[in-house]
Structure 1
Amino acid sequence: MSLILFAFVVRVRDGLPLSASTDFEHNRELQERKQQLRKISKALGLLPDRGTVKGHDLNIYFVSSEGVSYMTVCHCSLPVATAFCFLEDLRWEFTACFNSTVVALAARPYPFLEFDSTIQKLKQHYNQSGGPALQVTLAEVQEDLKLHPPQVITLDEVELSNGTANGHMEQAAGSGQNVRLEPVTAPGILSLVLNIMCASLNLIRGVHLIEYTFQDDYEGIWNVVAFLLAFVCCVFQCHLYLFHSSWKKQKSLTLLSVIILCNFYLFGMRNMWQLLFHMSVASFSTVLILTRKLQHRTIDCGV
């Protein structure tokens, strides 16, 4: 049984296919992996130089070097070191035949079809012998993999990288302009009103304490800080609910944690019911922030 099923050489810059092996197997999973290879090739500029995409029976391995990526589909029983050794041999053979200038000037897909025969010979050698001719080379690859293990890439990461590479994710990565969220709901309006109320209470108490602190009690400065910090967090919670932001989950959970810590610190300045009210409003707002999703956009047929 062949363990190395398919090999693919592409240009990293734009995913242009340069050469590929000829295969005669009509394996359904192999066809799926070949489609995934093409998706990965479009996002290579945003992926690590060496990676793995795991499948059910077949895995994808790739190595990128000097603007060219060498990719292969192998059976999962093939040792990882052997797969990357095959890619290193493939890279060596390709660079010996074509220089970087020729690769950069390639304008059409598969300009180096004649390299297919070299790929086939290399595949046949590995499938028959189970590895490279020189075991020293395999040992070197194994040692290198221990020091720098390949990153395991998921298909979700590939889709995200594809969107970024094609410019579809640039707006979402920014401040949220031109990205539309789902309409504000009645609970959302309630959370905004309650958050504004909490922010106002924190600001009023903080400003009031500033005068008293600077006149009589300098040790109370941390109470002022806690009130004002809670005020700022409430304002940011309103902003996160109204506008799209990257790292929304991390930001919202951080704001919630800070508000809870500030209210615990203010125990004594507020009674238990007041503390529960402020922390409940913050928790309610956090849930709504995390559950408000982006609005699905229709395809612009005019583009």
Structure 2
Amino acid sequence: MMTHPVVAAVDGSPESLAAAAWAGAEAQLRAAPLRLLTVWQPPMSSARFTSSHERLRSWEENRMREAADALAARRPGLDVTIEQAAGTPIRLLLDAGAGAEMIVLGSRGLGGTAGFFYGSVGLHLLASCERPVVLVRATDTTGCTVDRGGADGAGAAGGRPAPCVVLGLDLGRSCGPVLSFAFEEAAARRGALRVVHVWNVHQRYGYGAPALDAAAARELHAEQQQALTALLDPWRARHPGVDVTADVVDGPVAGRLVEAAHGAHLLVVGRRSRHAAAATHIGPVTHGVVHHAATPVAVVPHT
């Protein structure tokens, strides 16, 4: 059976090279090929350039080839291919993502509107791609395999391994693909999975609702914890090797997920599927997480 590739979009920037490095580690974990893809668009004006368009295209191709050679040298056995395609960027990336395990993009620093993700192409891809999209900061170039009991697996309270993967879960949504992706990622890394459901009483009952007394708040919190545990039980049974913790926390959803992901190798969130290629809406929680999380973020579409 043919293994689908991990695709990394490369434009020569430090952010995209970090994405390629992360994608290489991910492909190796999955025993999948890595495909480096760049979209060639000739400059709108050649007034500033002494080189011809063909020389510029060749220069971009050589940079991508150098990145591929460096990844292959760092990860022996990794199957790396490169492709330089001409056309409409969003269409080419959507087509590449459709046949991939995931597509990986670089994302520039926190805040503001800077970065690949906040460009129109990246935003459309994240909102429209029917496969997981992973955003990687320039400072993160690892895919991080975690061995239980090793240095990366220590540090959690009670001697439990620190979470390798953090999953932000909405109990009110259909979340099978998101759960499947998060468990597979944790299993591939031989790491722990922390599942977090953020219960925001104001979001559920409105800011005008009467303040809950302590007993009522504890009861509602316990109900949410029980629902989360029941949802995860069959997934635990399918992945007995994954050490799973499940927490219900209160507060603003995106902020709590960013806090929970601190120190983890990957944060996984869901995004409702939309089939229009021009879609740009990803939801406020997903928007907040990808905008502020320092760790790589995987956005998984679901129905």
Could you say which TM-score interval applies, normalised by the shorter chain?
Answer: under 0.3
Larger strand proportion of the pair: 2
**Under a length normalisation based on structure 1, what TM-score does the superposition of the two structures give?**
0.20
Q: Which has the larger radius of gyration?
A: 1
TM-score by length of 2: 0.20
Higher relative contact order (CA 8 A, sep 6+): 2
